[in-house]
Amino acid sequence: MKKSLLIIVAALLLLGCSYLFVWDRGNPQDFVADFQILKSDLATGYANLDWAAERYDIDLPKLAAKTEESLASTALRWRARNAIHDFLEAFQDKHLLAESADPPPVANGSETSTILSANLSAETSADDAISRLGYRSGDYDFDLDFDDLPEAVAWSPTADNPFPAVLLPLENNKLGVIRVPYFGQDRYEDVAREAWPEFGGKLDSSCGSLCEYTFFTKVGNVLLKKLADRVQTLEEQGMTALAVDISGNGGGSEWVRSVAQLFASTDLRCPPSSFIKHVHWRERFVSSSEWIEETLQDTTLSSEAVELLLQASTRLADLITATEDTCDRQSIWETSGRVPCSSIYTESYHSCEVFAYLDHPELAVRRSPWNQQIKQNYGAYQHSYSGPLFVITDNNTASASEYFAAVLQYNSAAKLVGKSTLGVGCGYTYGGISTYLPSLGLRVRMPDCVRYQKNGENELAGIQPDLPIRDDLTAEEIVAQIRSAL
């Protein structure tokens, strides 16, 4: 009897799923109309369109025609969605993706993401704040068994310090290895919970999105200190060379820039990058320019701060003009696929240099009053290490992690050892650019920037190590490569 009931329940569930798949229907003409929206917004907002089409020899008109034919021939929404997914996968860009979504609170078409506020206050407990802000824990242990090698002295990850480390004897050297498993502060839940009481207890009003971002920065400061503490501990134990393990690190936030600077012995110049000529970037540049002009009215500014602001103001004026230098690119889907003009700004744009004033302590406080809550600036931990540096990468090193590897390689500040990175590249700045397809219920997110490697190649091609390992990536092989390079 029990078995029969289970069979009946399973049959009903299967019937229900079949019903949803069959009856979740729409109008093929509406699906095609959604595709027209997508093609238009990709032509104007997708930073890797030209590169991917050339790299993978994509016949854009043929691809578009095939997709439109698939959409026009089905009334089933799931099949139409699959056609869109197949279309996007042709570009082999992990940041170009479609996801189910409710309609945005703006008109259909291109949109800019917004940061939602959790509305925290001084009365919010640490557990509640961390939960509402979306912080979570992760796996911090070594994926590669450095801590199991002979004579290894290991420091395991703890709630107090999530970064595992190991010290290994190498003939006349001692190699330290520190693992950074994530470059997103939101993956270090225990550290965020530790930081909230001091930060939240000083709030005198509701903590909105700007305040929450400042707490994000605060967590980053705490994490930097813990990384610097690991470096100091290893040096006290006689470390003469250091390897930073970012194998399997799928990325994170712009915090990665500060981590790279912590391990570098000199100031890092950021690699060249480019941005899409789009209203998304124009609004960012205009907002920054307006703030600079307002701030320059303050006669109490130091001469150093004024110089930084004036340099940025001049550069931003050029960049604002550049965002207006656009043209109609829609024919890319209809002709031979040749791009009539470029939508990318590529004239030696170094974003972290344009916005260098944001890292200046005096100006950081002015940029956001919440920054007064932060006791230490990211810069306090720059150059915590000054010896030989290696970075361990693999095929799952991606996104922000690729920036970490690329910026150190670009400045000849470290040697990369291991495997090529995944090839995800630059993603979304300030929420990025997305477009909503109403009939399909999909939001398509697209990269709005491009980062370049030392050899001039797009990071999407994957960053090649200086000390490649051809066979299986193991702790023993990595140590052998490093030993030979020292």
Identify the CA nearest to 31 among candidates 64, 65, 73, 62: 73
Residue 427 and residue 481 in contact, taking contact as beta carbons nearer than 8 Å: no
Report CA-CA distances (Å) from 464 to 52, 284, 422: 19, 32, 10
User: Is 315 buried (19+), middle (13-18) or exposed (0-12) by CB count in 10 A?
Assistant: middle
Identify the CA nearest to 465 among candidates 443, 446, 481: 481
Dihedral sign (CA 381, 225, 308, 343): positive
Strands 173-179 and 241-245, by their bridges, are: parallel
Half-sphere exposure for 357 (CA within 13 Å, toward CB):
26
pLDDT at residue 375, rounded to an integer: 42
- Only one residue has tokens 């070594």, namely 142
Alpha-carbon gap, residue 131 to 125, rounded angstroms: 10
**Residue 456 per-residue DSSP state:** S
Identify the CA nearest to 155 among candidates 239, 264, 256, 255: 239
Identify the CA nearest to 246 among candidates 94, 145, 144: 144
Give how many domains the chain has, as a whole number: 1
- Only one residue has tokens 């994509």, namely 58
pLDDT band at 1 (very low <50, low <70, confident <90, very high): low
**pTM for the full predicted model:** 0.83
pLDDT, greater one: 363 or 169? 169
Residue 477 and residue 465 in contact, taking contact as beta carbons nearer than 8 Å: no
Query: Which of 35-44, 64-73, 134-143, 333-342 comes out lowest in average pLDDT?
Result: 333-342
Residue 377 and residue 357 in contact, taking contact as beta carbons nearer than 8 Å: no
Angle between helices 189-200 and 209-236 (to 10 degrees): 120
Identify the CA nearest to 74 among candidates 127, 117, 126, 35: 35
107 in any annotated domain: no
Alpha-carbon gap, residue 485 to 398, rounded angstroms: 25
Please give the share of the chain, as a percent, with pLDDT higher than 70.
Answer: 88
Contacts 24+ apart (CB under 8 A), 335-338: 335/61, 336/61, 337/53, 337/58, 337/59, 337/60, 337/61
Consecutive H or E run containing 435: strand 433-437
432 in any annotated domain: no
Mean pLDDT of the chain: 88
Tens digits of residue pLDDT in 250-280:
999 889 989 999 999 998 998 889 999 999 9
- Only one residue has tokens 């027209």, namely 36
* Tokens at 144, concatenated: 């590669």
User: What are the residues facing 169 on neighbouring strands?
Assistant: 174
Alpha-carbon gap, residue 371 to 363, rounded angstroms: 10
Please give the share of the chain, as a percent, with pLDDT higher than 90.
Answer: 68
101 in any annotated domain: no
Kindly tell me if the per-residue pLDDT of 359 is higher than 80: no
57 in any annotated domain: no
Kindly tell me if the per-residue pLDDT of 188 is higher than 70: yes
105 in any annotated domain: no
pLDDT at residue 16, rounded to an integer: 46
The CATH number for 310's domain is 3.90.226.10
Tens digits of residue pLDDT in 219-250:
999 999 999 999 999 999 999 999 999 999 99
Strands 415-418 and 389-393, by their bridges, are: parallel
Consecutive H or E run containing 98: strand 97-100
Tens digits of residue pLDDT in 302-330:
999 999 999 999 999 999 999 998 888 88
Kindly tell me if the per-residue pLDDT of 18 is higher than 90: no
- Only one residue has tokens 């004036």, namely 310
346 in any annotated domain: yes
Question: Domain residues for 149?
Answer: 126-427+448-485
pLDDT band at 22 (very low <50, low <70, confident <90, very high): low
Q: How many residues does the chain have?
A: 486
Kindly tell me if the per-residue pLDDT of 5 is higher than 60: no
467 in any annotated domain: yes
pLDDT at residue 284, rounded to an integer: 92
**Residue 222 per-residue DSSP state:** H
Half-sphere exposure for 483 (CA within 13 Å, toward CB):
12
Identify the CA nearest to 405 among candidates 424, 386, 382: 424
Name every residue whose Cβ is closer than 8 Å to that of residue 102 and which is 6 or more positions away in sequence.
441
pLDDT at residue 436, rounded to an integer: 97
207 in any annotated domain: yes
Alpha-carbon gap, residue 437 to 97, rounded angstroms: 13
SS3 at position 243: strand
